[in-house]
Structure 1
Amino acid sequence: MSVNEETFDVVVVGSGGGGMIGGYLAAARGLRTLIIEKTDQVGGTTSYSGAGLWFPGSSPVTRAGIEESDRQAAREYLRAVVDDASREDLQDAYLTAGPALIGELEKNPWFGEFTHMPVPDYFASLPGATPHGRTVFPSPISVAELGDKADLVRRSIYTERYGHTEDDTLVGGRAFIARALAAFLDTGNGEIRVNTALRQLITENGRVVGVEAERAGDIVTVRAERGVLLAAGGFEHNAELRAKYGAIPSTGDWSDGVDSNVGDALLAGIAVGADTDLMDEAWYVPGVVQPDGKPVFNHASRGGIWVNAEGKRFTNETAPYDQAGHAIRNGERDTDVSHTPTYWVFDHKQLSRDGFGGKSPESPIADEWFESGALKKADTLEELASLIDVPSAELIASVQTFNGYVTGGVDEEFRRGETPWDQMCQFIVGYPALPEQNFIVPIEAEGPNPLIVSIDSPPYYAATLLLSDIGTKGGLKTDSTARVLNAEGEPIGGLYATGNTMAAMSGKVYPGAGTPIGSALAFAYQAVSDIARGDSAAGELVESGSATTETD
């Protein structure tokens, strides 16, 4: 293997939301910037997402008529949700960076305007929570507008796993990555190299001064005169690390993060003395098992009930996904009752209303669902209990108890239907959000609470749920400028981290839609601001020029 050496101002490891934005911001400030990506496409797990950004006080939020005072309410909310004084500096940095970043991005035609959408905050009972939420989204972009750049953007999870056809218009995370890619290349100061994997960080006198990477069998040394930003996702597909740190389940097979996220950047940081935090945590979500045996993120179930191995209901099935995921995780970890798998029990009435498997109610369920065992069907609850191996008396009792809430409209066990998030889910078919599933079927209320509909119309069904995640949450400890800290709490010179390579600003909780990607972007902004501070080009956008993308 040959060894080559090059020099840039900034090296960014990873090309998800945090990496692409970190690269763009550095290049736009006149810093010669290299983004390296170990796979053959850019976008990471961000490309799988809706690209929501929880950015209180940002221009799209204020354009929607939400008063500027909402930003202080958001601070109060974030304090209450996270409830961790050690993260208050990170919270304040996040709340400051988000609006500043959006303001800067909207000045670039490639990004255009972001749009606020009313996705309620996830912890409705806490001070500062709002039903309108603070989440903003990027605009779609056509493949034609992108030209050959579109081929470099990672496909959706549904295309990668199940061969779904992509539209001629990119939306959500794919649109955001595409826009960031085009903006980065247009600066004239940026270069992207795919199929280039980080091997280790290079240090001199305790400072990180570059990276060693492998590309097409060659070892390449790249010096970074100003700094290295690690933005390569978490370790969700590294079974050894998950088991070591207790990030259950101890296999990455059930994660919805991209398969390449195995903690390379995390381990490189640890190797140069970085401290870590939250290593047993993840952005947990329930996953509906597909016929191939793998789960896909389910954002909410607006009908039926979930039961554990005892046939007992244990959570609000319509709760925000992180809370529902933690209910499965905590049940599995903290009780003697198995929650792996959890079963989602519903009836023909719900199937006729919502469909299943991403198909409309008029579409028959493919045989592969039943042949694989991912979905089971029975004429009676007793038969269904036998098929899923839970006590029939307990399953019947759980269904009867739930049905008993219909008339009064109050879920006395888990309060389903009482929060703004739950009420929003009345109008959204919750499973799964496949591209072609663009239908919205209203719930025909049987009582005062539309989300409490009886389970009494055979045949009965049981879908299989597993604990999934959209990325691990533990990572390198940083300060409010995204500088990576050592065990003594001191910054490691030249080293920055963001996204799921960084220990989450929000601690063990998920405050609102768009917190993970919002954090990746906000701390990329903080990192580049620190890197560029004192540089004569800092804060000045440069004229468009030429840039390169290498694929081999």
Structure 2
Amino acid sequence: MGSGNGALTAAIAAADGGAETLVIEKSEKFGGTSASSGGGVWIPNNRYAVAEKADDSLEDARAYLDHVTPSNTINHALLEAYLARGPAVIDYLHEHTDWVRYRNLAYYPDYFPDGPGGKTGNRSMEPEPLHASAMGEDFYNLAPQHPQTQMPGGINFTQVEGAVVLAATRGWFSLAAKLVLKYLIDFPTRLKTLRDARLTMGNAGVARLFLALRDRQIPLWRGTTMLDLVQEDGRVIGIVIERNNQREFVRARKGVVLAAGGFERNQAMREQYLPSPTNTQWSAGNLQNTGDAIIAAQKLGADTAQMDWGWWFTTATVPGKPKAYLSQVEKGMAGSITVNRKGARFSNESQNYVSFVADMIKDEANTPSYMIFDADFRQQRPVASVLIQGKFFPDWMIPKAWWTPEFLSKADSLEELASKVGIDSSGLENTVAGFNQYAVDGKDADYQRGDSSYDRYYADPEVKPNPCLAPLLKPPFYALALYPGEMGTAGGLVIDDNAQVLNEDGAVIAGLYACGNTTAALLPAYPGPGATLGPAMVFGFIAGERAAQG
């Protein structure tokens, strides 16, 4: 159940193990959250890093995860299975499919690189770009990238390219021009669709797994909703689905793998489990993720954990857009700060997104928060992917509906800006004055912004002395409203190291497996880029392998 990285990996493993396999997807488009994501997969000691002679080891990876994983959530059996099986799963997909290929991200650091076992790169991979012509007509059934992970006009970029384009650092314009040219001269595709056929990031990852699925002639039923799990004599024997407005029972002779995402689009579940305040409108997650698989398993007595946690990300709600937009790169760039309603900073804006929002949700006064920036920043940097640099997209071109305190505000002074959005004006003025001095000194005395190698990954090295700090001086000043959103929820079903779902007594629910965001997070601290897709694929593979064994 599901069609993201975890589900497709499970299907490949099950089919290769001899099981007759079926994939069902609730949406009319396949790929789930994975398809719209950055597509990164965090697996230490993977074949692509080893090929580049990366300095890493199982011992370093174990030490790192032991250090960053909260002690009350750590599951050593699952961590060991993940670290041991992860590289082997990537090897298998590389060697037993013609399609699944990744690139090493040599310079994308762990999110806590300065801790024991932390690394400044070589643990995450991104999918090799792929031209959509390989998919034929199936391309049009692939869920699109989130516009956040594209250039204006829907032009795709890789993670490496995006680090340059989104931060608008040296060389960004020529790179963007090359990507636009590639898009324009793809005449065969332009005659059919405006969608970019150079698939990257999450689209490339899902497309490559799908092609391996198609080679195995595994059916994928789109527009199919799972209504319930069916259990007989203590074993899950199938599911009830709705397809083409008809209810059907699908018998599972070997097992059912739940890989249908979390519950980010279910407001009732958010209010029941997530920190308050919470709102589906703040989510950048899949519009179909309403917790169906979790609810169905709970009816059978399945245990859950970490239901109060998410793959947190500050988000901006762009008027008229169905999904919230992630705000990460610009939030940490030199020349901006993020403050609460008191006008005070509360965390390091350049640190990883999960940790920043973890600080944000500690105090309701931080919701909403506001990213504050000046005219120089507006001219030079894109904001939330939809607000292109002012020198190309001046303020008069911004839709009138966007000028609202719930999204974007502007004023000739900090005092006036504070009044417009409801921030304490003296608090804001004092915070900006203090931060401007930190920028001159090159040292953030409050939150150590720019000290970590992760902080500096998206920074502009031409900014001195600290690439993450620059003063806010030139009016007009701007405020972008930010909310404690997420890419998906991180709580879910409890599984064992065979990916089997456990009940509240810790016993296996026979015939039921799960992976991905349907399960409780293995790596809730989010140790590195792709720390959701990595476990999803590894435990998806284990689930498919074990299910095939019956």
| TM-score normalised by L of structure 2 | 0.87
1:347 and 2:374 are equivalent in the alignment: yes
Q: Which deviates more, 240-249 or 266-275?
A: 240-249
Structure 1 vs Structure 2 CA RMSD: 2.0
CA contact (8 A) 1:48 1:157 kept: yes
| Separation of aligned partners in 1, 2:140 and 2:205 | 14
Uncovered stretches (5+) of structure 1, i.e. residues with no partner: 1-12, 333-337, 428-441, 536-552
1:34 and 2:34 are equivalent in the alignment: no
CA pair 285-235 structure 1, distance change in 2 beyond 3 A: same
SS across alignment from 1:402? helix
| Separation of aligned partners in 2, 1:66 and 1:375 | 43
The corresponding residue for 2:441 is 408
1:178 and 2:192 are equivalent in the alignment: no
| Separation of aligned partners in 1, 2:467 and 2:27 | 45
CA pair 160-111 structure 1, distance change in 2 beyond 3 A: closer
Q: Shift of the alpha carbon at 1:465?
A: 0.7
The corresponding residue for 2:197 is 168
1:291 and 2:319 are equivalent in the alignment: yes
Which residue identity is paired with 2:546?
A: D
Q: Shift of the alpha carbon at 1:361?
A: 4.6
Q: Shift of the alpha carbon at 1:42?
A: 0.6
The corresponding residue for 2:399 is 368
| Separation of aligned partners in 1, 2:289 and 2:276 | 16
1:512 and 2:539 are equivalent in the alignment: no
| Separation of aligned partners in 1, 2:104 and 2:49 | 8
Q: Shift of the alpha carbon at 1:358?
A: 4.7
Q: Which deviates more, 250-259 or 227-236?
A: 250-259
CA contact (8 A) 1:291 1:368 kept: no
The corresponding residue for 1:227 is 255
CA deviations on 1:478-512 (whole Å, 9 max, x unpaired) are 001110001110110010010010111124x1111
Match of 1:187 among 200, 206, 216: 216
The corresponding residue for 2:90 is 102
| Separation of aligned partners in 1, 2:528 and 2:471 | 30
The corresponding residue for 1:471 is 488
Give the 5 Å matches for 1:98-177: 98-107=86-95, 108-158=97-147, 164=154, 166-177=195-206
CA contact (8 A) 2:102 2:128 kept: yes
Q: Shift of the alpha carbon at 1:297?
A: 1.0
Count of matched residue pairs: 498
The corresponding residue for 1:530 is 546
1:78 and 2:65 are equivalent in the alignment: yes
The corresponding residue for 2:177 is none
| Separation of aligned partners in 2, 1:359 and 1:311 | 26
CA contact (8 A) 1:97 1:525 kept: no
The corresponding residue for 2:237 is 209
The corresponding residue for 1:64 is 52
Q: Shift of the alpha carbon at 1:393?
A: 1.0
CA contact (8 A) 2:282 2:317 kept: no
Which residue identity is paired with 1:181?
A: F
Match of 2:41 among 40, 53, 66: 53
CA deviations on 1:108-157 (whole Å, 9 max, x unpaired) are 21113443342111113321011125101111111112211211210112
Match of 1:380 among 407, 410, 413: 413
| Separation of aligned partners in 2, 1:163 and 1:154 | 17
CA pair 109-361 structure 1, distance change in 2 beyond 3 A: farther
The corresponding residue for 2:188 is none
Q: Which deviates more, 127-136 or 410-419?
A: 127-136
Q: Shift of the alpha carbon at 1:247?
A: 4.4
| Separation of aligned partners in 1, 2:22 and 2:149 | 27
1:462 and 2:474 are equivalent in the alignment: no
Q: Shift of the alpha carbon at 1:64?
A: 2.1
Uncovered stretches (5+) of structure 2, i.e. residues with no partner: 155-193
1:488 and 2:513 are equivalent in the alignment: no
| Separation of aligned partners in 2, 1:178 and 1:46 | 10
Q: Which deviates more, 51-60 or 149-158?
A: 149-158
- Report sequence identity in percent: 34
Which residue identity is paired with 2:427?
A: E
SS across alignment from 2:432? helix
The corresponding residue for 1:389 is 422
CA pair 394-250 structure 1, distance change in 2 beyond 3 A: closer
Q: Shift of the alpha carbon at 1:159?
A: 8.9
CA contact (8 A) 1:156 1:174 kept: yes
CA pair 29-278 structure 1, distance change in 2 beyond 3 A: same
1:320 and 2:347 are equivalent in the alignment: no
